[in-house]
């Protein structure tokens, strides 16, 4: 979709280099003076196997190995750009790495004064028993347990513990009976609820070796009978696009049954001052990643409609088909990719203006 936006801006068709070619260790072709954009590895099975090792692509887990491979690929691209005269990378590789580590990203935001939910302090959680002990010591009964390197809500557990009672909402489906290699879980498009400590413990134990980020539950505002958050795309420092993600479950991801909500109704309920504060928080979150052309900020609005907190900052959070820019953003009539092309060509990102026709074939 970025390629289409670039072509509409008058540029040549970009050259696309597959992630599996980068991960294969071969040379990364970068033309002199080219612009290089890094996109998500996506759901390509061959690429997933190179990053996490062989296995069912829908399986939950393996995030630490995936992250190491991903970072090695990013470094190869960064090095190739650095060796090529006049070439530029549209997105700092180190910043992308931070956004793919929820623990490090949360700490960066918090240090910058960006509102975030409190995270469980101390060393990484190593298992379910330890998690329960530390939640009890913190006095937290409701948390989100997130794989440190996950995306698309893979392995995320909205967890409530009250004495012997437990309720875990997640898109991870436990394999019953366990396969010969031991317990396993797989991503599902269906959000399910587990109410047994044994099941919840199995999920946590599967995820803990790859690293966990545990945040205190932030009660979200609701509208139309659904709780919601906002995905706000910030391009070259300016919030340009926003979508309401509403759901009847704690998971608002659109692929998990969430729906696009009424942005006008949310803005009206927040009021102009509240809406301005929301966009300011998103801009401040994006400012923590000044080398990134665009980021997607997941912003939560508190149940009281006053509190705000950033749940995630996404390096590849601009996939919002059919959405045009916010009024007054400078991206009116443009989709998220068109807004990025406009920022590049106007020189609002990475230096001097670039004419698409002169940008070469950087992919």
Query: Which domain range does residue 235 map to?
Result: 220-332
CB proximity list for 130: less than 8 A, separation 6 or greater: none
Task: Clarify whether residues 210 and 271 are in a common domain.
Answer: no
Task: Clarify whether residues 236 and 328 are in a common domain.
Answer: yes
168, part of any domain: yes
Task: Clarify whether residues 319 and 237 are in a common domain.
Answer: yes
- Between helix 197-207 and helix 128-138 the angle, nearest 10°, is 100
Output the pLDDT for position 1.
83
209, part of any domain: yes
> Domain ends where: 216, 232, 252?
216
Output the pLDDT for position 182.
87
Task: Clarify whether residues 314 and 226 are in a common domain.
Answer: yes
Task: Clarify whether residues 200 and 232 are in a common domain.
Answer: no
Output the pLDDT for position 357.
40
Task: Clarify whether residues 253 and 208 are in a common domain.
Answer: no
Output the pLDDT for position 355.
54
Output the pLDDT for position 362.
32
> Domain ends where: 216, 239, 270?
216
345, part of any domain: no
Task: Clarify whether residues 328 and 229 are in a common domain.
Answer: yes
Output the pLDDT for position 229.
98
**Residues in the chain where the model's pLDDT stays below 70:** 351-363
153, part of any domain: yes
Task: Clarify whether residues 271 and 204 are in a common domain.
Answer: no
What is the tally of structural domains in the chain? 3
Output the pLDDT for position 327.
96
> Domain ends where: 60, 89, 118?
89
Output the pLDDT for position 6.
86
47, part of any domain: yes
226, part of any domain: yes
Task: Clarify whether residues 237 and 182 are in a common domain.
Answer: no
Give 271-332 as a DSSP string: HHHHHHHHHHHHHHHHHT-TT-SEEEEEEEEBTTSS-EEEEEEETT----TT--PPTTTT-T
180, part of any domain: yes
Task: Clarify whether residues 21 and 39 are in a common domain.
Answer: yes
106, part of any domain: no
**Predicted confidence (pLDDT) per residue in 77-130, tens digit:** 999 999 999 999 999 999 999 999 999 999 999 999 999 999 999 999 999 999
Task: Clarify whether residues 212 and 224 are in a common domain.
Answer: no
Task: Clarify whether residues 276 and 185 are in a common domain.
Answer: no
Output the pLDDT for position 3.
85
Q: Are strands 88-89 and 35-36 parallel, antiparallel or unpaired?
A: parallel
């Amino acid at each position: 979709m970025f390629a289409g936006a670039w072509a509409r801006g008058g540029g040549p068709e970009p050259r696309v280099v597959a992630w599996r070619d980068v991960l294969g260790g071969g040379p990364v072709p970068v033309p002199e003076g080219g612009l290089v954009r890094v996109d998500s590895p996506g759901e390509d099975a061959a690429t997933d196997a190179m990053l996490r090792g062989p296995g069912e692509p829908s399986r939950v887990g393996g995030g630490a190995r995936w992250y190491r491979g991903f970072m090695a690929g990013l470094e190869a691209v960064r090095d190739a750009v650095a060796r090529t005269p006049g070439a530029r990378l549209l997105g700092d590789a180190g910043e992308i790495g931070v956004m793919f580590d929820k623990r490090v990203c949360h700490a960066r935001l918090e240090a910058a004064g960006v509102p975030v939910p409190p995270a469980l302090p101390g060393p990484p959680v190593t298992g379910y028993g330890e998690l329960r002990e530390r939640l009890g010591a913190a006095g937290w009964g409701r948390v989100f347990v997130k794989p440190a390197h996950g995306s698309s809500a893979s392995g995320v557990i909205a967890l409530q513990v009250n004495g012997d009672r437990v309720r875990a909402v997640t898109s991870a489906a436990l394999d019953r009976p366990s396969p010969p290699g031991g317990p396993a879980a797989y991503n599902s498009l269906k959000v399910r609820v587990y109410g047994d400590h044994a099941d919840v413990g199995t999920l946590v134990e599967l995820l803990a070796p790859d690293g966990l980020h545990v945040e205190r539950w932030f009660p979200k505002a609701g509208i139309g009978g659904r709780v919601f958050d906002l995905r706000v795309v910030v391009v070259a420092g300016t919030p340009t696009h926003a979508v309401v993600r509403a759901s009847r479950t704690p998971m608002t991801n659109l692929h998990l049954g969430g729906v696009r909500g009424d942005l006008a109704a949310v803005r009206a309920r927040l009021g102009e001052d509240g809406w301005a504060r929301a966009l300011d928080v998103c801009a401040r979150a994006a400012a923590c990643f000044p080398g990134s052309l665009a980021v997607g900020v997941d912003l939560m609005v508190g149940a009281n409609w006053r509190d705000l907190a950033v749940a995630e900052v996404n390096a590849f959070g601009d996939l919002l088909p059919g959405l045009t820019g916010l009024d007054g953003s400078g991206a009116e009539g443009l989709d998220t990719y068109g807004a990025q092309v406009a920022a590049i060509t106007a020189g609002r990102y990475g230096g001097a203006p670039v004419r698409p026709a002169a940008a070469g074939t950087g992919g």
